[in-house]
Structure 1
Amino acid sequence: MVIRARKLKRGDTVGVVAPASPPKQESLGKALSFLEGLGLKVKLGSSLHKTYGYLAGTDEERVEDIHTMFRDPEIKAVFCACGGFGTGRIASKLDYELIAGNPKIFWGYSDITFLHTAIHQNTGLVTFHGPMLSSDVGLKEVHEKTKETFRQLFESKPVEFSPTLSPVEVIVEGKAGGPVTGGNLTLLVSTLGTEYEVDTRGKILFIEDLDEEPYKVDRMLNQLKMAGKFRDAEGIIIGDFKNCEPDKRKESLTLDQLFDEYIRKAGKPALKGFYIGHSSPSLAVPVGSYGKIDTSSKSFIVESGIKEKDEA
């Protein structure tokens, strides 16, 4: 069963948390002003100002922040300030009954991928793989399309990814449809063998990553392949792989060679080149909503991840 949170409207209160690493405070301040500019009131989680090594507080503190936001009837959406490290540590500590009983918009990406997978597969709630407040919206210069992608939280209409923004390439021709799942490649691989293992059966899988050398991308794609994740998927979307260039090993395969080896040979309709992930612009994807791939038009369209307020 798929659950959608109700759309936002001006005057709503939203919560901001740090489920992984602590955000840069200056960048966060700018991002909070952006949310307020959308007509939203902002409530801050206590973890935003805590540090525990590379984490924004202990596991228990970060979990309680999330629970507090979902428990509070005033809060209509929960935005993650940044990614970093540590969400896999708290997945088993979350109260999924609480989350399912209080469906709200949950937004973030990168390390938050683990929580998108865990929350959707355990509750049916559609979550949003979208640009981070501190590390994307809080930058000195923010692409207008990055800002515009937040509009999908206010309007219940399909999210369309077209080849007009970036050069989209066809890896495997065809059409495919299914619920959308995926996110950061490193985090998806980290779910394998756990009770939160990403399920790609009958789904559209999208992947992206940052600062991973090709030999590491090779290893991770191979692991997904051996786990049957490409075989089980209906279609595949390759997002941005920013700075995934050879460094330690100068003699290297290219990313295109790797995508040819793993994605093309999987034989599922596949497109490459959308601004999804650590890119500028960074476009949000509703995880759990139904998506369609059509390589003839190089399009990727996903049903809205929210519902109208007056729906049951």
Structure 2
Amino acid sequence: MIPPVYPPKPAPGDRIAVLSPAAGLPELFPRPYELGLRRLREDFGLEPVEYPTTRRMGTTPKERAEDIHAAFADPDIKVIMASIGGDDQITVLPLLDRELIRANPKPFFGMSDNTNLLAFLHTTGIVGFHGATVMTQLGRPVAMDRLTADSLRAALFTPGAYELRPAERWNDVNRDWADPATFDEEPETRPGDGWIWRNPDRVVEGRSWGGCLEILAWLLMADREIAHDPSVYDGGVLFLETSEELPSGTEVYRILRNMGERGLLRRFPALLMGRAKTWSFERPNSPEESARYAAEQRAAVERALAEYAPDTLAVFDVDLGHTTPQLVIPYGGTVRVDGPARRITVTY
């Protein structure tokens, strides 16, 4: 596997490609999408450029691959961001021109189903950025979360180290994007309790790899963008998070167990586990149900680590997934986990 390199940073005034490599949800929910575009212009000084599939549902994998190629090949485009996730980006991967993308490295921002493209970039030799899609974080009602905005700004424009911070308040309950009233007030938040540390007796610094756990499971099943020799991950920092589909603790354990059986888990001396999303429109859990779900997921991860990577330094409830705030994690970039000091630093 090619060691990833950081692509050049954009500058204020540059053009940013906004793609929908998974699902064209801007067609169905224009309000958060337009709000996100406005913030890219006004708050970050970037000029969004849309592509044929950006606002179209039901596009083919070939059409989406063509838009990805066009964005990477265009010398006037300096950065690329996904509008949102989806569930079939894995079908786009076989159609991508690896040499074209390798010859035109650019920062790509996305998460959830975009774990597919981030993993592709990693094996291609390009550091990507897990986090900050247009509709979810930039399209947050009233204002972006401060931690999200600070992290995204640093990831976009500032090379070097950035220290992550635990969220003082967070949210994982969504409101209906189809309802205009949703955008009249900020989402309700709840107090954060800080990070939970396991085996915090050492410092680990290495290249990051991971993403949405369910998507990684699909990649493993399809045998795509996963190194056949797990030793290439030796010394790295694994980061994982789960989606709004709320996989059960049993499912989380089984995925991690299978990663352990493949020899993957023990390769990573550190794990950052994203704060679990505990609420969805399909499962509107009460606060008590949400707390129980989060505890079950943590217990599942702890069980898998105890069986396959007992010495791993792990940090739970890091805000890097489907909850808000959402800290950007360099995918394939350097992450330093300092257990004794209880600090996490990433290099953007």
The two structures have a TM-score, normalised by structure 2, of 0.80
Instruction: Point out the more displaced range, 187-196 or 69-78.
Output: 187-196
1:226 matches 2:226: no
Amino acid at match of 2:240: I
1:243 matches 2:249: no
The match for 2:199 among 172, 175, 181 is 172
The residue that corresponds to 2:225 in the other structure is 196
- 1:96-245 matches, cutoff 5 A: 96-121=98-123, 123-141=124-142, 142-152=144-154, 153-163=156-166, 165=168, 166=192, 167-173=194-200, 174-193=202-221, 194-197=223-226, 200-210=233-243, 211-243=246-278
1:300 matches 2:300: no
C-alpha offsets along residues 92-118 of structure 1, whole Å, 9 cap, x if unaligned?
Answer: 111111111111110000000111111
The match for 1:65 among 64, 67, 73 is 67
C-alpha offsets along residues 177-215 of structure 1, whole Å, 9 cap, x if unaligned?
Answer: 210111100011111151412653331100001222222
User: Structure 1 residues 164 and 16, CA, compared in 2 at 3 Å: closer, same or farther?
Assistant: closer
Amino acid at match of 2:276: F
1:132 CA displacement: 1.3
Amino acid at match of 2:260: K
1:140 CA displacement: 1.1
The residue that corresponds to 2:57 in the other structure is 51
Instruction: State the identity as a percent.
Output: 27
1:264 CA displacement: 4.2
CA-based RMSD: 2.1
Provide the C-alpha distance between the structure 1 equivalents of 2:64 and 2:53, rounded to a whole number of angstroms.
6
User: Structure 1 residues 264 and 170, CA, compared in 2 at 3 Å: closer, same or farther?
Assistant: farther
Provide the C-alpha distance between the structure 1 equivalents of 2:145 and 2:166, rounded to a whole number of angstroms.
17
Q: Residue 60 of structure 1: SS of its match in structure 2? A: helix
Amino acid at match of 2:317: G
The match for 2:298 among 256, 263, 284 is 256
1:290 matches 2:334: yes
Provide the C-alpha distance between the structure 2 equivalents of 1:19 and 1:241, rounded to a whole number of angstroms.
24
1:218 CA displacement: 2.2
1:67 CA displacement: 0.3
C-alpha offsets along residues 59-100 of structure 1, whole Å, 9 cap, x if unaligned?
Answer: 011000000000100000010000011111111111111111
* 8 Å CA contact retained: 2:147, 2:167: no
- 1:68-107 matches, cutoff 5 A: 68-107=70-109
Q: Residue 116 of structure 2: SS of its match in structure 1? A: helix
Runs of 4+ in 1 over 6 A off after TM superposition: 250-253
Q: Which runs of 5+ in 2 are unaligned?
A: 169-191, 284-288
Amino acid at match of 1:221: L
Provide the C-alpha distance between the structure 2 equivalents of 1:217 and 1:264, rounded to a whole number of angstroms.
14
Amino acid at match of 2:234: R
Provide the C-alpha distance between the structure 2 equivalents of 1:171 and 1:183, rounded to a whole number of angstroms.
20
Provide the C-alpha distance between the structure 1 equivalents of 2:94 and 2:324, rounded to a whole number of angstroms.
33
1:149 CA displacement: 1.8
* 8 Å CA contact retained: 2:209, 2:238: yes
Provide the C-alpha distance between the structure 1 equivalents of 2:70 and 2:298, rounded to a whole number of angstroms.
44
Amino acid at match of 2:331: V
Amino acid at match of 2:225: Y
* 8 Å CA contact retained: 1:163, 1:298: no
1:49 CA displacement: 2.1
The two structures have a TM-score, normalised by structure 1, of 0.89
1:17 CA displacement: 0.3
Amino acid at match of 1:289: G
C-alpha offsets along residues 231-264 of structure 1, whole Å, 9 cap, x if unaligned?
Answer: 111211111210179x7xx998812321221124
* 8 Å CA contact retained: 2:22, 2:88: yes
The residue that corresponds to 1:307 in the other structure is none
Provide the C-alpha distance between the structure 2 equivalents of 1:164 and 1:62, rounded to a whole number of angstroms.
35
Provide the C-alpha distance between the structure 1 equivalents of 2:339 and 2:306, rounded to a whole number of angstroms.
13
1:128 CA displacement: 0.3
Q: Residue 273 of structure 1: SS of its match in structure 2? A: strand
Q: Residue 140 of structure 2: SS of its match in structure 1? A: coil
Amino acid at match of 2:347: E
Provide the C-alpha distance between the structure 1 equivalents of 2:302 and 2:12, rounded to a whole number of angstroms.
46
C-alpha offsets along residues 127-176 of structure 1, whole Å, 9 cap, x if unaligned?
Answer: 00012111222121431211222212111121212346451111222221
